[in-house]
Structure 1
């Protein structure tokens, strides 16, 4: 591989479909550029790569437009949460407490 390119992966997943794309990109490519250059939207119509949150190996990156990719990294495209995990836990705890008082 030429020293002016890097190998990276871009991934996106729905509950029933996942896609991992391996790319060779120019050195200096940002995370956002890698996501947009991946062509992932062809596999997931409606995917908004310009505004989707991104991360690397499970860690969200606050400014993917500025974060330059390194050899071997994996860009993860995150989808919006359907429910707030804190709120779901709170509801589950309230339901359990209510069930306990009935017993």
Structure 2
């Protein structure tokens, strides 16, 4: 009998998260033990659903901490795919200050 949240056989369960302005995607998948972060993202199919995801450009992390694509995942890890900034933070601050002055 399998108990929830336990490693079953030689596989683990992980979550793949990707957020847009209008929605958040969270996919639970089962992968072989020893799977890398990059391979889990590929196996999730999320890059087919969102072709703008490019692991050579998008940063990734586990539980809000930047990670390498070669990181070996552990059971119940949440892999997060981060979007690129739309504007440089310094430029955004300058724009906010300029708007307040007017």
Name the TM tier (shorter chain). Answer: 0.7 to 0.9
Deviations 1:24-79 (A, max 9, x none): 10111111111111100232233224542101111212x222x1101111000111
RMSD (Å), alpha carbons = 1.9
Q: Equivalent residue for 2:14?
A: 8
Matched, 1:43 2:49: yes
Q: Normalized against structure 1, the TM-score is what?
A: 0.78
Q: Is the 8 A contact 2:41 2:47 kept in 1?
A: no
Higher alpha-carbon Rg: 1
Instruction: Identify the match of residue 25 of structure 2 among 19, 26, 29.
Output: 19
Match of 1:52, SS state, is: coil
State the aligned residue count.
96
Q: Normalized against structure 2, the TM-score is what?
A: 0.78
Q: Equivalent residue for 2:69?
A: 64
Residues in 2 aligned to 1:54 and 1:13: alpha-carbon distance in whole angstroms = 12
Structure 1 stretches of at least 4 aligned residues deviating more than 6 Å after TM superposition: none
Unaligned runs of 5+ in 1: none
Unaligned runs of 5+ in 2: 1-6
